[in-house]
Homo-oligomer: A and B are copies of this chain.
Amino acid sequence: MRLSEVAGKIGGRLEGDGSVDIRGVAGISEAGEGEVSFIANPHYTDEAAMTKASAVIVSENWNSACSAALIRTKNPDEAFTKAAGLFYTPPARPAKGIHPSALVAADAEIGENVSIGMLCIIESGAEIGAGTVILPQCYIGRKAVLGEDCWLYPQVSLREGVRIGKRAIVHNGTVIGSDGFGYTVDAQGGRTKIPQLGIVEIGDDVEIGANVTIDRARFGRTLIGNGVKIDNLVQIAHNVVIGDHAVIIAQSAIAGSTHIGRKVIIAGQAGIAGHLHVGDGAVIGAKAAVTKDVEPGVYVIGVPALPAAKFKRAQAGLMLLPKFKERVAELEARIRKLEENR
């Protein structure tokens, strides 16, 4: 495809030779001849000056050096995604139907145009929505329900009764519906398991990363809203409720019965204690330890988590302590002198 054609299809303004033949996209420092790259993060400005790419997608007001043709656009990140789509052949959809090696219960309800891969297990009473793809070695428990057009990567486990909406994507090794962690303790410290009677219910358009764990409710439902995106190795405990369009980055954990508002963003390795409310649109910083409710729209960081400005002030104070100590020592010396001179 000619560069001019790429620029046109992504809605950008070309500065440079539009006749160059483009065959793919790549990162700014890896791209070579015939490839389009992009700069969305000022971090990479230096790399632009010596990129080997044939063209670079930049913002409207870009004015740094670049060794390649430019495609100016309002949102370089978005435009690059479009460009990538021009050259991307999505993984072939597996053949429709049930692979002969899969074990599907006679009373499972399998929708139209479903693909069930090699060595999958679909237990009794499960329902698989039309157009859904289940890749090899997945386990779908009794009466679990998967909506239309979902895509499960290999080795996903859905425990009994789990309900997932439409267009979900679930990556390898993820477990949905494992028992919540709950015990009563006797006087000797022995623990008796509290039966985990509930389910997990997941809305539409949710994506869940690899090796994630989402526990079923003690009773009622662990609830994941529409459009929620969950990264790898995240832990979601029993009875957690997650609002629509929330985002949860890798290795974060949400303890039991906590409610996460709509559009909340939880950065990597954060932890949120149980029985809390995190308001709509709040942002939880990476590695933060949330121990109290968070108001809507507030950005918290730290261990324990504080509003970011407060945390940064405390942190700055900490860094100034050595200097501060000198000031107090000096004060002590001066006061001693004054006292001697009295």
Query: Which residues of chain A have a CB within 8 Å of any CB of chain B?
Result: 24-27, 30, 41, 43-44, 75, 77-78, 81, 84-85, 87-88, 90-92, 101, 103, 118-119, 121, 136-137, 139, 142, 153-155, 157, 159-160, 169, 171-173, 175, 178-179, 181, 183-184, 189-195, 197, 205, 207, 209-213, 215, 218-221, 227, 229, 231-233, 235, 237, 239, 245, 247, 249-251, 253, 255, 257, 262-263, 268-269, 271, 273, 275, 286-287, 289, 302-304, 313-315, 317-322, 324-325, 327-328, 331-332, 334-335, 338-339, 341-342
Q: A178-B210, A213-B211, A232-B213 in contact; A84/B249 too (CB < 8 A)?
A: no
Q: Are A227 and B334 in contact (CB under 8 A)?
A: no
Residues of B within 8 A of A184 (CB): 75, 77-78, 81
Q: A231-B181, A251-B253, A314-B319 in contact; A211/B271 too (CB < 8 A)?
A: no
Across the A-B interface, give the 6 residue pairs with the lowest CB-CB distance, nearest first.
A317-B321, A213-B232, A178-B210, A175-B210, A157-B172, A172-B175
Cα distance A90–B178 in the bound complex, in angstroms: 14
Q: A213-B211, A338-B335 in contact; A287/B268 too (CB < 8 A)?
A: no
Knowing that A75-B184, A317-B322 touch, tell me 9 more A-B residue pairs with CB under 8 angstroms: A27-B219, A84-B195, A119-B119, A179-B209, A189-B262, A190-B245, A313-B322, A324-B328, A331-B331
Q: Could you tell me the distance in whole angstroms from the C-beta of A154 to the nearest C-beta in chain B?
A: 4
Cα distance A197–B160 in the bound complex, in angstroms: 34
Residues of B within 8 A of A160 (CB): 91
Residues of B within 8 A of A302 (CB): 303
Of the A-B pairs whose beta carbons lie under 8 Å apart in the complex, a sample of 18, sorted by A's number, is: A30-B221, A78-B184, A81-B192, A84-B195, A85-B195, A87-B197, A103-B119, A118-B121, A171-B179, A173-B175, A178-B210, A181-B229, A181-B231, A191-B229, A211-B213, A251-B271, A321-B321, A338-B342
**Interface SS of chain A:** loop
Q: Are A245 and B27 in contact (CB under 8 A)?
A: no
Q: Are A178 and B189 in contact (CB under 8 A)?
A: no
Cα distance A221–B332 in the bound complex, in angstroms: 59
Residues of B within 8 A of A153 (CB): 157, 159, 178
Cα distance A273–B43 in the bound complex, in angstroms: 13
> How many monomers of this protein are in the complex?
3
Q: Considering only CB atoms, which chain B residue lies closest to A276 in the complex?
A: B43
Cα distance A273–B250 in the bound complex, in angstroms: 11
Q: Could you tell me the distance in whole angstroms from the C-beta of A303 to the nearest C-beta in chain B?
A: 6
Q: Are B339 and A191 in contact (CB under 8 A)?
A: no
Residues of B within 8 A of A233 (CB): 211, 213, 233, 235, 253
Q: Considering only CB atoms, which chain B residue lies closest to A90 in the complex?
A: B195
Residues of B within 8 A of A313 (CB): 322
Residues of B within 8 A of A44 (CB): 275
Cα distance A321–B312 in the bound complex, in angstroms: 12
Cα distance A273–B41 in the bound complex, in angstroms: 14
Cα distance A142–B255 in the bound complex, in angstroms: 37
Q: Are B325 and A232 in contact (CB under 8 A)?
A: no
Residues of B within 8 A of A103 (CB): 101, 118-119
